[in-house]
């Protein structure tokens, strides 16, 4: 059983400026919960009990969000606001959280490398802290863990995107018997237009064995002058099998403004409290 997860959440969030000047993008809410809480809930629902969040300067709000606020809990208790109180206590008990600083923002690969001593020799999950993966089937991390339990090798979540968007992502080449589970045989980070080996991109969730750190330590800066996780994975792929699963669910990249707007509407339409008023409002727009 995999019990550890790493959540990179140190990035600048330049795509969401000026909001991200003082507030971490991982604290952007969908309705009333910050993105990173959804991510931690996904990990906890998959049986993860120890989580390392990789942060940088200016990300204190993340730590504070997951720190029990006893005086607030006391006040809610005294004023009889039990459902809010239960919600806060539920957050406190999701998982054991640890934090580490990424000193220089040298890229996602470097962020994951900060987890080396936390991980030790255990296999572990990586969940990007700015992306919610919703699924009516089962948490996407659980879907990947099922593949890991079967194959015992690294697994990533895959999503099909339009060919003209592949240059934003890590893209795989691979083969599949069922168009769901892929054996990966090539990886490229942000391919130039027309150069992508497929339209299957890595969708912000990964399961690794600890030997990914050997490859990360040897990975030089790549695209965007950053240490790319995809480059370390490509080196590992030369020695070991790696799988990709077209997951059952939807990706919400909240660091992207349009995705944030669409996701807010989708989450409102799924919520008991907001479905009707938001539907009424959208209809009234007569678009």
Choices 108-116, 147-155, 230-238, 240-248; region in contact with ligand UTP by CB under 6 A: 108-116
54 binds ligand UTP per the rule CB under 6 A:
yes
Burial class (CB in 10 A: 0-12, 13-18, 19+), 173: middle
Residue from 4, 11, 66, 212 that binds ligand UTP (CB under 6 A)? 11
Residue from 95, 108, 126, 203 that binds ligand UTP (CB under 6 A)? 108
139 binds ligand UTP per the rule CB under 6 A:
no
Is there a contact between 202 and 244 (Cβ–Cβ < 8 Å)? yes
Q: How far is the CB of 104 from ligand UTP (least distance, A)?
A: 8
187 binds ligand UTP per the rule CB under 6 A:
no
Q: How far is the CB of 252 from ligand UTP (least distance, A)?
A: 13
Minimum CB distance to ligand UTP smaller for 53 or for 85: 53
Cis upstream peptide for 144 (omega within 30°): no
107 binds ligand UTP per the rule CB under 6 A:
yes
Q: How far is the CB of 229 from ligand UTP (least distance, A)?
A: 8
Q: How far is the CB of 23 from ligand UTP (least distance, A)?
A: 13
Minimum CB distance to ligand UTP smaller for 134 or for 271: 134
13 binds ligand UTP per the rule CB under 6 A:
yes
Find the binding residues for ligand UTP in span 190-219 (CB under 6 A): none
Q: How far is the CB of 68 from ligand UTP (least distance, A)?
A: 25
Q: How far is the CB of 102 from ligand UTP (least distance, A)?
A: 5
> What is the number of alpha carbons within 13 Å of residue 170 lying toward its C-beta?
22
Burial class (CB in 10 A: 0-12, 13-18, 19+), 261: exposed
8 binds ligand UTP per the rule CB under 6 A:
yes
Burial 42-53, CB ≥16 within 10 A → b, else e: bbbebebebbbb
Find the binding residues for ligand UTP in span 109-138 (CB under 6 A): 110-111, 128-130
Cα–Cα distance, 17 to 61 (Å, whole number): 17
Residues 6+ apart with CB under 8 A from 143: 135, 137, 157, 245, 247, 248, 249
Cα–Cα distance, 287 to 283 (Å, whole number): 8
Interface ranges with ligand UTP (CB under 6 A)? 8-15, 54, 102, 105-108, 110-111, 128-130, 255
């Amino acid at each position: 059983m995999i019990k550890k997860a790493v959540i990179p959440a140190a990035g600048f969030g330049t795509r969401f400026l000026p909001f991200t000047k003082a507030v971490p993008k991982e604290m952007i809410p969908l309705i009333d919960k910050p993105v990173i809480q959804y991510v931690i809930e996904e990990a906890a629902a998959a049986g993860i009990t120890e989580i390392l969040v990789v942060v940088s300067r200016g990300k204190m709000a993340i730590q504070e969000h997951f720190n029990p606020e006893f005086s607030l809990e006391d006040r809610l208790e005294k004023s009889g606001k039990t459902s809010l109180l239960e919600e806060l206590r539920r957050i406190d008990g999701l998982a054991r959280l640890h934090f580490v600083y990424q000193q220089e923002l040298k890229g996602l690969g470097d962020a994951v490398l900060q987890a080396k001593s936390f991980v030790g020799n255990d296999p572990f999950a990586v969940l990007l802290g700015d992306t919610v993966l919703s699924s009516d089937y089962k948490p996407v991390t659980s879907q990947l863990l099922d593949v890991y339990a079967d194959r015992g090798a690294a697994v990533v979540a895959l999503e099909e995107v339009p060919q003209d968007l592949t240059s934003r992502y890590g893209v795989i080449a691979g083969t599949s018997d069922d168009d769901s589970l892929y054996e990966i045989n090539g990886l490229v980070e942000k391919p130039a237009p027309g150069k992508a080996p497929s339209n299957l991109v890595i969708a912000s969730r990964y399961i690794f064995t600890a030997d990914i750190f050997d490859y990360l330590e040897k990975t030089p800066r790549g695209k965007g002058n950053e240490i790319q996780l995809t480059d370390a994975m490509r080196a590992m792929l030369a020695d070991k099998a790696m799988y990709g699963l077209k997951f059952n669910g939807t990706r919400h990249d909240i660091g992207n403004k349009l995705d944030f707007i669409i996701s807010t509407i989708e989450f409102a339409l799924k919520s008991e409290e907001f479905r009707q008023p938001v539907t009424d409002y959208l209809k009234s727009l007569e678009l």
